[in-house]
Amino acid sequence: MKLREISEILDRKLRADIAESWDNVGLLIGDRDAEIKKILLTLELTGDVMKLALEEKADLVISHHPLIFSGLKKIVSSEGDNLVFELIRNNIAFYAAHTNFDALDGGLNDYVAELIGGKNITMIKSPQEEHAICRIFDIEETSIEDYISHIKSVMNIETLRFTGNTDEKISRVALVTGSGSEYIDIAVSNGAQLFITGDLKYHYALELKEKGINVLDAGHFDTEKVFPQAMSRFIRRSITELGDIDIIESGADVNPFEYR
């Protein structure tokens, strides 16, 4: 199948039109007339993922994080933009599904919510939003301490951060994968007893602690690292037009932080 056809299908099924205005989604690199036989799914393109793409002879990389955000001034080898250069040199196309896949029904937030035991998953949105990334859901009543242990187990997370009361019993949880602390207030107003996200800032955490709001910072990487599995599932269920194109889930995504 031609890249032109695939990108049009992805734009429609992944709802490129609902991405945030500041985002850069869709087909970012590629020859629209190129034939696509193998797709690699990854959280983001790194040197290790690029090596995997070359080893697997992938024709297209679908990434959660866009490779290009701001204007590029150079596309040359070994000068910062080398991954863009390597994609072009090796005729590998690049497609980003970022905030649209966060908000999409059946996308990343729904996938993670299900993974951590969520039931009756619904979207929370402000009056200004048509689509939103925040999800709220029910869980079987448990203590926060036990639920944190459950999350660490199913998400394979060694270390995370929490502010609040771990002894408190909860049955209603809200989630935004990646960075989503701006949704805390609306989640609490909708009955969330625990909010899960990443990238929580220190001073805001202090404020939340004073208010008695339970927030779990499970990390930007750790809440989004299952993107390849989430996208693979979405493709199998909702993008049947891709037919017999080979889909590979990257195992090369690595957290840039080390915990010591």
pLDDT in tens, 41-58: 999 999 999 999 999 999
Q: Give the whole-angstrom CA distance, residue 52 versus residue 29.
A: 18
- Flag whether pLDDT at 172 surpasses 70: yes
Q: Which amino acid is at 188?
A: V
Q: From 3.40.250.10, 3.40.50.10490, 3.40.1390.30, 1.10.150.120, which CATH number describes the 105-223 domain? A: 3.40.1390.30
Write down the domain spans for the chain: 3-101, 105-223
CB atoms within 10 A of CB 126: 11
3-class secondary structure, 49 = helix
Give the residue-averaged pLDDT of 81-108: 95
**What letter represents residue 48's amino acid?**
D
Mean pLDDT to the nearest integer, 31-40: 98
The CATH architecture to which 3-101 belongs is: 3-Layer(aba) Sandwich (3.40)
Using CA atoms, how far apart are residues 93 and 67, in angstroms rounded to an integer? 11
What average pLDDT does range 228-233 have in this prediction? 98
> Which of 20-24, 33-37, 81-85, 198-202 comes out lowest in average pLDDT?
81-85
In what order do the strands lie in the sheet containing 194-198? 119-124, 134-143, 169-179, 194-198, 215-217, 161-163
- Would you say residue 167 has pLDDT above 90? yes
Instruction: Judge contact between 184 and 126, C-beta under 8 A.
Output: no
User: 3-101 and 105-223: same fold?
Assistant: yes
Rg (CA), the chain: 19
Is the pLDDT confidence value at 197 over 80? yes
pLDDT at 127: 72
- Cβ atoms within 10 Å, residue 238: 13
Pairing of strands 215-217, 194-198: parallel
Per-residue pLDDT at 260:
81
pLDDT given at position 74: 83
Would you say 9 and 95 are in contact if contact means Cβ atoms under 8 Å apart? no
What pLDDT is stored for residue 80 in this prediction? 63
First to last CA, the chain: 47
Q: Which pLDDT value is given to residue 128?
A: 72
Stated pTM of the model: 0.96
Q: Which of 20-34, 122-136, 223-237 has the lowest mean pLDDT?
A: 122-136
Mean pLDDT of 82-105: 96
Give the pair of three-digit tokens for residue 122.
């619904």
pLDDT of amino acid 81: 65
